[in-house]
Amino acid sequence: MSDDVRGVPAAAIRSLVADCFSAAGMVADDAACVAELMVEADLTGADGHGVMRLAHYMRRFKAGGFNRAPNISVTQTAPATALVDGDNGIGHLVVSRATRTAMTLARAAGVAWVGVRRSNHAGAAGIYAAMPAAEGMIGIYAAVASANHMAASGSAEPLLGTNPLAIGVPTNDGAMVFDMATTIVSYGTIKKYAMQGRAMPPGWLVSATTGEPITDPKQSAEGLLLPVGGYKGSGLALMLGVLAGVLNGAAFGRAVIDFNAEDKRGTNTGQFILALDVARFMPMEGFRAAMDVHLGDLRAASRLPGVDAIRLPGDRRRYCRAERLRDGVPLPPALVAQLDDVAQGLGVKTLAQRLA
């Protein structure tokens, strides 16, 4: 951790976030739920989906873009399926409700698929896939991203998002969570490079007019994020968008509203969550033991020159969580100042006051 970055205890951030949402008009339980999930993103290293988003969320609350007191409705449509209407609530509330529904249905039916419509940005994909994994289930989650920055293969027009896929599996070492965007990097990464004045490697972004690489992050407005693995990544983004968006009557393609550019209109964001009960396939003990063997084999395998350790999906997440629970979440000074502004604007205690 560099000198100018403070490790802030998760509990302090959590109480700040919850107080801000309460002050913005959300009931206390909902505010606590959103705070918990946002800080979980920070703890697990998904910084771009954590407290960094608070100012933006508050701006959107103020502008009327979020429903402060959404009447989230869950309609069970079959023994193992449900459709959740988020009533334009913030995504964390809506998707966590959908995930709990999927887990309840899957406990009875073995598997469940819950679709979500009229939701919003829900933060880090991995946190929802991890929830079933914490209770002996496999979780699979995908979302339509809250802005379109990718084009279909060959196209110059961004009609697809970074649509993420997350898969969580229970192991003896906690939830093993795989969480991938379908673009090589996120738009947030490019913004970070722009702020730092750094050139980007070719391969992240191409010009929508020439198809040539853009390495100057200042030109990103005219660029298209490149998919993972070329046409495979853009095809996967499309299919996930169909499953999370079109199937639920949620926004996709031209109907997607750029959540960063516009604060007022509901985004009708779509997501889905699947929960699958491991015990319907093999005894939980046997599954965990088999995972131990296989993950051990993969870690112990010979390495390429210059590689110090083999990292498997979720390793960084697990390591980061342990470290940040111990040392606090590193918040850059600019972010702390921004959070102070938000807190003062809403009349709640700042981080410094909470830590005094």
Name which of residues 118 to 177 contact a second copy (CB under 8 A). Answer: 138, 151-157, 159, 165, 167, 169
HSE-CB for 213 with a 13 A CA cutoff: 7
Q: Biggest alpha carbon distance in the chain? A: 56
Query: Whole-number minimum distance, CB 18 to a second copy, in Å?
Result: 33
Among 210, 219, 344, 353, binds a second copy (CB under 8 A): 210
Residue number, 37 or 160, with CB nearest to a second copy: 160
Residue number, 261 or 309, with CB nearest to a second copy: 309
* Region of 21-29, 39-47, 304-312, 340-348 interacting with a second copy (CB under 8 A): 304-312
C-alpha 32/C-alpha 18 separation (Å) is: 5
Q: List phi, psi (to 5°) of 74.
A: -115, 115
Distances (CA, A) of 31 to 28, 66, 129: 5, 13, 21
Quick check: 311 binds a second copy (CB under 8 A)?
yes
Residue showing tokens 């051990």: 296
Query: Whole-number minimum distance, CB 81 to a second copy, in Å?
Result: 3
Question: What tokens were used for 354?
Answer: 């909470």
First to last CA, the chain: 22
Question: What tokens were used for 49?
Answer: 């989906």
HSE-CB for 152 with a 13 A CA cutoff: 9
Q: What is the DSSP letter of 28?
A: H
**Number of shown-chain residues binding a second copy (CB under 8 A):** 77
Query: In the window 4-63, what residues touch a second copy (CB under 8 A)?
Result: none
C-alpha 65/C-alpha 90 separation (Å) is: 9
Residue 326 near residue 1 (C-beta atoms within 8 A): no
Q: What is the DSSP letter of 213?
A: B
Among 221, 297, 326, 347, binds a second copy (CB under 8 A): 297
Using alpha carbons only, what angle is made at residue 94 by residues 93 and 96, rounded to the nearest 5 degrees?
Answer: 70
Query: Whole-number minimum distance, CB 286 to a second copy, in Å?
Result: 8
What radius of gyration do the chain's Cα atoms show?
A: 20
* Region of 10-18, 55-63, 279-287, 331-339 interacting with a second copy (CB under 8 A): 279-287
Quick check: 110 binds a second copy (CB under 8 A)?
yes
Among 11, 198, 294, 355, binds a second copy (CB under 8 A): 294
Quick check: 200 binds a second copy (CB under 8 A)?
no
Query: Whole-number minimum distance, CB 247 to a second copy, in Å?
Result: 5
Residue number, 15 or 171, with CB nearest to a second copy: 171
Query: Whole-number minimum distance, CB 139 to a second copy, in Å?
Result: 11
Quick check: 80 binds a second copy (CB under 8 A)?
yes
- Beta-carbon contacts of residue 266 (< 8 Å; ≥ 6 apart): 65, 67, 88, 118, 120
Residue number, 211 or 333, with CB nearest to a second copy: 211
Residue number, 281 or 319, with CB nearest to a second copy: 281
Query: In the window 236-265, what residues touch a second copy (CB under 8 A)?
Result: 236, 238-239, 242-243, 246-249, 252-254
Quick check: 273 binds a second copy (CB under 8 A)?
no
- Label residue 345 left, alpha or beta by phi (over 0 means left) and psi (-120 to 50 means alpha): alpha
Residue number, 218 or 303, with CB nearest to a second copy: 303
Quick check: 305 binds a second copy (CB under 8 A)?
yes
Quick check: 278 binds a second copy (CB under 8 A)?
yes
